Chain A
Amino acid sequence: MEEKLRILIAKPGLDTHERGAKIISRTLIEAGMEVIYMAQINLTIPQIISCAIEEDVNLIGLSILSGAHLSICRNIIDEMKKRNIDDMPVIVGGVIPRHDVPKLKEMGIREVFGPGIPTETVVEYVKALQG
């Protein structure tokens, strides 16, 4: 019996658009994973990373539609390095202009899923982590 994958889906920053994040969360749950969903008011990056450590998740998924993805992802990766969990994979979804995708990957974001990507693609990507 394989352990269930544990995934943290978070809405970092101030962006309030939750439609995509909720759909992805529900899809991952249906695919047999455990999802911790974070979208509180005033959610900070240290809170997200603390939660990832405490909940011992396999992956962090960030949903950002506000255009603030570059600075948010940089701060996330910095915080993860600071707390020695930068080997944990981070993926990003939302409205990410094409020209920013290489920049995010350079920072250390594993994968970027833009609008309209089938949720199945995300599920397969996450499952592949289990090897």
Chain B
Amino acid sequence: MRDDIEKIRREKDKWFSEKFMKQLSGLGVESPPLKGDKLPLYTPLDVENKYLEDIGFPGEFPYTRGVYPGMYLDKLWIMRQIAGYGTARETNQRFKYLLENGETGVTAVFDFPTVMGLDSDNPMAEGEVGRCGVPVDSVEDMRILFDGIPIDRVHVALLSSYPSSPAIFAAYIAMAMEKGLAIDSLAGSIQNHFLAFYTALPKCAKIPPRDAIRIAVDTFEYCSRYMPRWTPINITAHVIRESGATMIQELSYCLANAMAYVEAALERGLDVDSFGPKLAFYFTAGMNLFEEVAKYRAARRLWARIMKEKYNARNPASQMIRFHAQGSAFTVTAQQPLNNLIRSTIQTLAAALGGAQSINVNPFDESLSIPSEESVRLALRTSQIVAYETGITETIDPLGGSYYVETLTNKTEEEVRQLLKLIEEMGDGSMLNGVIKGIESGYFLREVSKAAYDYNKEVESGERVVVGLNSYKVEEDIPIELLTVDPELEKIQVENLKKLKRNRDEKKVHETLEKVKEGAGGKGNLIPLMIEAIRANATVGEITDSIVNVFGLYQPKSGVI
């Protein structure tokens, strides 16, 4: 028997005046501490959801409680740590070290030259090779990188976005072919998410947005046809959030981007259910535990409704948000760095309570240098302790039904819907055009820069407490063992690349690159052409140049501060 709503309302009013305000006025507080216009106490009066329609069961529409019926009862989240530094050899050692320590998925992150499609011997790459990721110039580097890694059994995430991600993807496929693996057996993902970078990391946005979208759709098409277990895109909200966006902007811009891809793929004539199940998402796990959990729950409900109602997706898998979560790097402090272990723990908890499929925990020395072996192992242990020692995996969506969390979930959904509407209106009813307009006009850049500035102001004014940074400070000189990247490694990488170029069949390289150029100028799918080129020992830089030369170098709105 449910309580009578009116009776609850009466009792709440009574409690408010007789108990709550009485206690506060005893303390000299005159007006109630409201959040917005609400008292921060949530009751059945706040949650008017229809359970079956809005919340439902795990693995059933609208997936608010989770995308799989059994969630962690069947299968824990994939535990993975980003790795990439030095050369493919060092990074391969790091992969093995993490797998030995119980990692269940491998994540490769590439250095800046690789991401931007500059080979290690390019003058622009000097001093940057292997500093902030692993350099991959050729299929040979890919071979070394995954040597002895059971890629037919372990889920591999390639954290590579444009402009070089299609060439990196091609190199990975070519490497698997060489190993004699059937490519339809490969499970993994390529980040390949171009749209977020115009906003979050505009300095690597080399290709015009429309061409970027075309490449993304090429990848969808290729994977739909040949690689059923591969995720052709990881629609990344994380970089947007880390560059300054609020939680609401993070989710809104991410879903807007996702909708833009869907509309582009539909324009190409693809069936929504042919690629819908393959879309995956990549969110931040921030410090505000309940807000973050509400974000994940709202994301699932929103996407399910968008895909079903707006794009007529019939396959349930097309309606599900499967997502990876990574701790929020901007919450990591360089002051009292060991405090970051506690931050990472709370963020991991948020991701797990929110039903993530895969989690990356930020190492505590993230803001000091490339993580050391000790710090990545501690990060992995964080995931393991949350999974095995807290009991949160013994039930599904443990926070579901919390008056507060359900209210926050509703509020998040509502606010995101409003922003989505605004972006769609910028494109006169087309989300694809709205997103492109938002990129080209600098709208997203301005909004995110402002949010970053406001956040920083809150920290510097002390309104937002960051322990060890603006409160509870200490004079410190903590001797932490930091990893240093040996500058000799860059020379070795460049030397190996020169050797590869000396010993290859130049005629074949030229022919295959010409085909990539032709493909870029035409309408065909670029992925098979890139696989041919990379197998002929063309480099990631040469392949990327081929497409950049055809599309023209895009200069994103620069100087938006």
Interface residue ranges, A against B (CB under 8 Å): 11, 13-19, 22-23, 25-26, 29, 35, 37-44, 65-68, 70-72, 75, 95, 97-99, 114-116, 118-120
A-B contact pairs, 20 of them (CB 8 A): A14-B113, A14-B128, A16-B112, A16-B203, A18-B203, A19-B243, A22-B449, A22-B561, A26-B453, A29-B561, A37-B558, A37-B561, A38-B558, A41-B206, A67-B131, A68-B112, A95-B334, A95-B369, A97-B368, A97-B482
Which chain A residue lies CB-closest to B455?
A23
Q: Please determine whether B558 and A116 come into contact, CB atoms closer than 8 angstroms.
A: no
- The list of the 6 closest CB pairs from A to B, nearest first, reads A71-B127, A67-B131, A14-B112, A16-B201, A16-B203, A115-B334
- How far is A43 from B84 in the complex, measured between Cα atoms in Å? 24
Within the assembled complex, what's the spacing in Å between the Cα atoms of A24 and B127? Answer: 25
By beta carbon, the residue of chain B nearest A9 is B561
Interface of A is mostly: loop
Q: Which of B118-126, B410-418, B430-438 contacts A (4 or more CB under 8 A)?
A: B118-126
Given A13-B112, A66-B112, A115-B334, decide whether A95 and B204 contact each other with a Cβ distance below 8 A. Answer: no
Restricting to B74-121, which residues have a CB under 8 Å from any CB of A? 112-113, 115-116, 118
Contact: A95 with B205, CB < 8 Å? no
User: Could you give, for residues 531-557 of chain B, a 1 whenever the CB lies within 8 Å of some chain A CB and a 0 otherwise?
Assistant: 000000000000000000000011110
Q: How far is the CB of B540 from chain A (nearest CB, A)?
A: 14
Contacts A40-B555, A95-B367, A115-B367; A72 near B484 (Cβ below 8 A)? no
Cβ of B131: which chain A residues have Cβ within 8 Å of it?
A: 66-68
Provide the residues of chain B in CB contact with A75, threshold 8 Å: 126-127
* Residues of the B chain whose Cβ atoms lie less than 8 Å from the Cβ of A37: 558-559, 561
User: Which residues B419-465 have CB closer than 8 A to chain A?
Assistant: 449, 452-453, 456, 460
Identify 4 new A-B residue pairs, CB closer than 8 A, beyond the known A29-B561, A71-B128: A15-B112, A15-B128, A116-B335, A120-B460
B370 interface hit (Cβ, 8 Å): yes
What CA separation (Å) do A116 and B116 show in the bound complex? 28
Tell me the complex Cα distance, A22–B449, Å: 7
Contacts of A65 in B (CB 8 A): 132
Out of B244, B334, B335, B460, which one reaches A19, CB within 8 Å?
A: B244
Contacts of A15 in B (CB 8 A): 112, 128, 132, 203
Given A13, A68, A95, which contacts B368 in the complex, CB threshold below 8 Å? A95
| B242 interfacial by beta-carbon distance below 8 Å | yes
